Amino acid sequence: MPNGTLLLAPSRLRLTRTPGARRVIRGFAGSRLVGALAAPHGVDRYLELVLPSFSLYEPRAEIVDVDRRTPESVTLRLRPSEVWRGFQSGQFVSMTVEIDGVRHTRCYSPASSQHAADGKLEFTARTHPEGLVSRYLREDAHPGMVVELTQAGGDFVLPAPRPEHLLLISGGSGITPVMSMLRTLCDEGHDAPVTFLHYARHECDVAYRVELAELAGRHRNVRVAYVYTREPGGRLHGHFTRAQLRALEDRYRQAEVYVCGPPGLIEATRGLWARDGHPERVHSESFLQPRLPATPDEEAGSVRFAASDVQVSATGVTLLEQAEQAGLSPAFGCRMGICHTCTTRKLAGTVRNIYSGELSSCEEQAIQICVSVPAGDVELDL
Ligand code: FES
């Protein structure tokens, strides 16, 4: 049995699928008396011990299929619980798994259509050598395993009404939110031009080749092109350039662009449309943002973790990294300022946002410690 998974016993699963039983449990567990008895952890923390896939407030999902379709990724299909409120394509979800008794949270964007008829969610996680959760999911995820989710968040979404001309650009694992956008558009019967341009190092790294070919075959308005940066064989070759766009379509300047991937791809896309006088047409989501250079005050002063009674000297890294180096285990998800999992109360001091450079000096303020560095002495409620 793999370590730390939230396993679901078949008898319990049958119980939670009976509408009458679910109503009874919901009524009982949702009562104020039970809520008061469960404090401070909340009813769901206790329910998961007996009925892992059942919850009153926090969404959970049962893995129904695991597909290791490329050498460095795993694709999961999940059945979310009743409290899941759905998502818009392009948004992200935080997923929590327990590994060796420790809960770990990471952010993933569903790749499925927001209109999926079976209501299932699909996530593809790319594995990294140091990626604890992605490696765990690739090696140990199995049907029947239950994970915790948050409701979907993020504003990287398609507008309504849908644009007349769309260019979806992705690099590496940035394919998942734009794959969801393309699947959603196809489910809606969208018939205006959509070009899907994906950058990968090698052909074997592309997780959705079969589905993309199938969508392009069924929808005359959909065009798909791959660019491989480390081998020939794609429609185009090398890193993002204007010449590649020209080779792909004449009217690329008129397109509304949705791009997700590494910072270099996003900056190149933004720069190109800015030079053409239409920066507002580019909408982006990066899974690795470029950090502003450190300033001298980030390596001066001290950081005090008041709840743990630990004090360390500032080293110029984020408060999340500083806490981990001090042996603490704060919760985190995306580590890039999107999901708010790491939000912690700052009791005193000034912090700087590593992306915007913005300073925050208010006392008693909730901050995202994954994107905050101290600017002088700082005290956190951690
Ligand atoms: S870990 Fe996601 S915002 Fe900090």
Unique residue bearing structure tokens 């790319």 = 126
Q: Is 342 in the pocket of ligand 1 (CB under 6 A)?
A: yes
- Which atom of ligand 1 has the smallest separation from the CA of 332? 1
What global pTM score does this model have?
0.76
Q: Is 321 in the pocket of ligand 1 (CB under 6 A)?
A: no
3-class SS letters over 108-164: ECCCCCCCCCCCCEEEEEECCCCCHHHHHHHHHCCCCCEEEECCCECCCCCCCCCCC
Residues of the chain predicted below pLDDT 70: 1-57, 287-294, 296-299
- What is the whole-number distance in angstroms between the Cα of residue 107 and the centre of ligand 1? 9
Q: How far is CA 359 from CA 59, 349, 374, in A?
A: 35, 10, 9
User: What was the pLDDT predicted at 58?
Assistant: 82
User: What was the pLDDT predicted at 158?
Assistant: 97
User: What was the pLDDT predicted at 1?
Assistant: 33
User: What was the pLDDT predicted at 12?
Assistant: 44
User: What was the pLDDT predicted at 232?
Assistant: 86
- Which atom of ligand 1 has the smallest separation from the CA of 94? 2
User: What was the pLDDT predicted at 181?
Assistant: 98
At residue 42, what is the residue type? G
- Residues 6 or more apart whose CB falls under 8 angstroms from that of 33 comprise none
User: What was the pLDDT predicted at 286?
Assistant: 73
User: What was the pLDDT predicted at 35?
Assistant: 62
Q: Is 340 in the pocket of ligand 1 (CB under 6 A)?
A: yes
- What is the whole-number distance in angstroms between the Cα of residue 251 and the centre of ligand 1? 38
| Best mutation site among 106, 109, 334, 380 for ligand 1 pocket (most ligand atoms within 8 Å of CB) | 334
- Intra-chain end-to-end CA distance of the chain, in Å: 34
User: What was the pLDDT predicted at 214?
Assistant: 97
User: What was the pLDDT predicted at 11?
Assistant: 40
d(CA 52, CA 145): 9
User: What was the pLDDT predicted at 298?
Assistant: 65
User: What was the pLDDT predicted at 76?
Assistant: 98
Q: Is 186 in the pocket of ligand 1 (CB under 6 A)?
A: no
E runs forming strands in the chain: 60-67, 73-80, 93-99, 102-108, 121-126, 146-149, 166-171, 194-200, 222-228, 236-237, 256-261, 282-286, 302-305, 310-313, 343-353, 359-360, 365-368, 372-380
User: What was the pLDDT predicted at 216?
Assistant: 97
The closest of 370, 376, 367, 292 to 331, measured between CA atoms, is 370
